[in-house]
Amino acid sequence: MEEKDILVAYFSHSGTTRGVAAALSSEIDADLFEISPKEEYSNVYTQSNSEIRRNARPALSAAVDNM
């Protein structure tokens, strides 16, 4: 059976998801990639809520290599 590379990609506004993603990637021996916007979000959730309503796709600060 062919071995596959595994990537755990996550977005974490508050940091909670970051911890879960790190634990998961460690458990399954996967690469870890943080999805983050080019422009940082404020601590107020209204910006992200507005983007959800508009179905917006903000620019990301980085891309996954070799994908």
Q: pLDDT (tens digit, 9 = 90+) per residue, 11-66?
A: 988 889 999 999 999 999 999 999 998 988 766 677 778 888 999 888 889 999 88
pLDDT higher than 70, residue 1: no
Phi, psi of 32 (to 5 degrees): -120, 135
Is the pTM of the predicted complex or chain greater than 0.85?
A: no
